[in-house]
Structure 1
């Protein structure tokens, strides 16, 4: 049967899968070693075929405290069961199980919430991460409406104020709810337009201090990363240059494919993961050489179309967290003072934009490099350029003290 493996084929099928995904010899030996415990169990039970049900029974058996001799043996047996089940189901193997936090939409208006989320994704082409942020807000809001025993159609301003107060009027909650209320009114789901009410209150925003590094500091960070000649060090240096020289987000570095590299025209052409906008950036010599160095001297043998991959079998796609850690490590090792400043790839993206602005490059050009559709986004992104404000400031004239001491004046004592 398709969902079973004969007992005498288990070792062959297991080795084919592990070796096919380039796992180390020791990894293969460890799992074939665990296989003997499974075979012994099946022979004692008179079972000639392995199936996920047999795997479940075997997992329960080795979980018995009286049977489980060593934690490593126990973990190996559970990993073996997972591998065999994946082979039967012909599915990719997940190294870790992460508990995914759920954000349920509750109440009678669940369909409306889901339609709105689909509307954001389809019309505005928002990324999955951005839609998830809206889902998190709506999940809490739907729970609030359920506790109040209210449907969306009967919502009033007091309900909105109460919810915002409980959320401490955080910026992302405020604007997510404002956008949702606008959608409800425009589609005739609610009769009252709450837009004017939202104009009367302001979300609580923390003071945003621009987090960037000077060109000299960025160069020091790059030189430090370049000295690390391990395979992961070579990879991390190439990723660092993509962030510092071209301002790529970690999501775009992670998704970068060989097909995005136009070596003939010296261009990097890609669709931004966050905005879905197609951008074209120059493939600078230093960046191109770093990528070539990685492919030749650091990148493991893999059929992956992604330029940057994990350096551990099965050599899959990097996570944004991995890229953030790699670049943050380069900043910390560089000796640059990072006090009160971020250390991830976004800070290097911010540093590039700030350096361009200080160099007299106009906002439209900076917006094009960053992939922003509007210069307004770039202005918010850059924050306040203090040095240029000082240059634009006017001298305050010296005023005679008699002005302040005149009788009847505001400062008259």
Structure 2
């Protein structure tokens, strides 16, 4: 699946996956209802990009604002789980169905760093959904580092960080890996703050065109002054 991050892209892809599976008509209709409710919330609140945190708000919207029945609240949670898995880069049946979390095998030192970061995020009030998402991404990042021969955090270099990050294939992961690297630096596990190596995904803001006096003179000289205004 392509690097999708907006709700419209993720939900459209999820619609297609749902159609391809053998869901009953009533189940498919129920999922469609929830997705349309989610879309309404996103539009009304001017939101485009989807995150697990947004997913929690969507569930709350169905439960507290729409006052849907308990079964549909469960359905909303199920849909959010599917959206989260799509966001993580999963696709097909892997994204549709819930499986037990795959335990990433890491060298002891890297695992301890991941555990410490997870504990810190939990202490800061992160929800379980967010914690799982952060741990999943950072765990994959550390696994790539381990595959590159890095067994301890003090062996991490800028070159390894860039190689491991780029191999993940999703630029949006900087939002989770960057804070993780900063945590490692601030807690003395890294000598340098490698979070600055992670590319920042800024939305493009068009800038007005500004011409120099010389360029203005050239433009004026090319005008046909004999043509009526």
More helix by proportion, 1 or 2? 2
- TM-score, normalising length from structure 1? 0.25
Give the TM-score taking structure 2 as reference length. Answer: 0.43
Q: Which has the larger radius of gyration?
A: 1
**With CA pairs under 8 Å and 6+ residues apart, which has the higher RCO, 1 or 2?**
2
